[in-house]
Amino acid sequence: MIIASEIVSEALQAIKKAVAPGITTKALEEIAEDVIRMRGGKPAFKGYKGFPASICTSVNDEVVHGIPSEEVVLKEGDIVSIDLGVIYKGYISDAAITLPVGEISEAAERLLSVTREALFEGIARAVPSNRVGDISHAIQSYVESKGYSVVRKFVGHGVGRRLHEEPQVPNFGLPGRGVKLREGMTLAIEPMVNEGTHDVSIMEDGWTAKTKDGKLSAHFEHTILIKKSGPEILTNW
Ligand code: MG
């Protein structure tokens, strides 16, 4: 998982360098695929429950699971969420970032920084003998204190030999509830934060989730390992 995470990180960093007005989301997928295959990994999302691409690219009001396309050309002021998973020798790592395309509005900038910060609020609670609800509650209360909402329809998850393992890690919930966290657990913690309503709609492609009110959404994710001493973040953007 450590090596799978290194590959995820390299691919995300390559995408980060390439994101600019005029690039297509399909081109970003190709960049990721090159890095993943060069390092001997496999894209974990391709074919997962029939998903047709190696990464998810979700622009502006798209929340998650956007499909890379030659027709989606990024433009100045957009935000694009990149979600990426890698399998290396049977082990999986999963991470996401939302990137600005050129100069973005102050409002978009703030949404990105709150979502990123919410992830670290959650990760800080990933310590042995805490419970999943402690992570969930930390994320939700931070996000709501900033005037945004957390998406309910999609959640974080255990990750390891499979992309989605128990336990689920919702971005909302009550402290002290849910599965007890133990040393050695590996989790993908991933707040999806909306400017407006938490409600989402699924588009006709069967995958792309958009905010119901058309407002912006951001997504940050790390794969982490719970150690006796606390959380270790395996991925890096
Ligand atoms: Mg995930």
Separation of CA 117 and ligand 1 centre (Å): 17
CA angle 217, 222, 227 (to 5 degrees): 145
Separation of CA 188 and ligand 1 centre (Å): 5
Separation of CA 38 and ligand 1 centre (Å): 23
Separation of CA 37 and ligand 1 centre (Å): 20
Separation of CA 95 and ligand 1 centre (Å): 6
Separation of CA 173 and ligand 1 centre (Å): 18
Separation of CA 61 and ligand 1 centre (Å): 19
Q: How far apart are CA 141 and CA 157, in angstroms?
A: 19
Q: What confidence score (pLDDT) does residue 224 get?
A: 98
* Domain ranges, residue 57: 2-233
Query: CATH code at 191?
Result: 3.90.230.10
Q: What confidence score (pLDDT) does residue 35 get?
A: 98
Separation of CA 77 and ligand 1 centre (Å): 26
Q: What confidence score (pLDDT) does residue 54 get?
A: 98
Separation of CA 70 and ligand 1 centre (Å): 24
Separation of CA 221 and ligand 1 centre (Å): 7
Separation of CA 106 and ligand 1 centre (Å): 27
Separation of CA 48 and ligand 1 centre (Å): 12
Separation of CA 156 and ligand 1 centre (Å): 6
Number of separate domains in the chain: 1
Separation of CA 157 and ligand 1 centre (Å): 6
Separation of CA 10 and ligand 1 centre (Å): 17
DSSP label at residue 66: P
At position 139, the amino acid (one-letter code) is I
Q: What is the pTM of this model?
A: 0.97
Residue 176 burial (C-beta neighbours within 10 Å; 0-12, 13-18, 19+): exposed
Radius of gyration of the chain measured on its C-alpha atoms: 16
Q: How far apart are CA 36 and CA 55, in angstroms?
A: 11
3-state SS record for 148-199: CEECCCCCEEECCCCCCEEEEECCCCCCCCCCECCCCCEEEECCEEECCCCC
* Tens-digit pLDDT string for the chain (237 aa): 999 999 999 999 999 999 999 999 999 999 999 999 999 999 999 999 999 999 999 999 999 999 999 999 999 999 999 999 999 999 999 999 999 999 999 999 999 999 999 999 999 999 999 999 999 999 999 999 999 999 999 999 999 999 999 999 999 999 999 999 999 999 999 999 999 999 999 999 999 999 999 999 999 999 999 999 999 999 999
Q: What confidence score (pLDDT) does residue 217 get?
A: 98
Q: Are the beta carbons of 172 and 150 closer than 8 angstroms?
A: yes
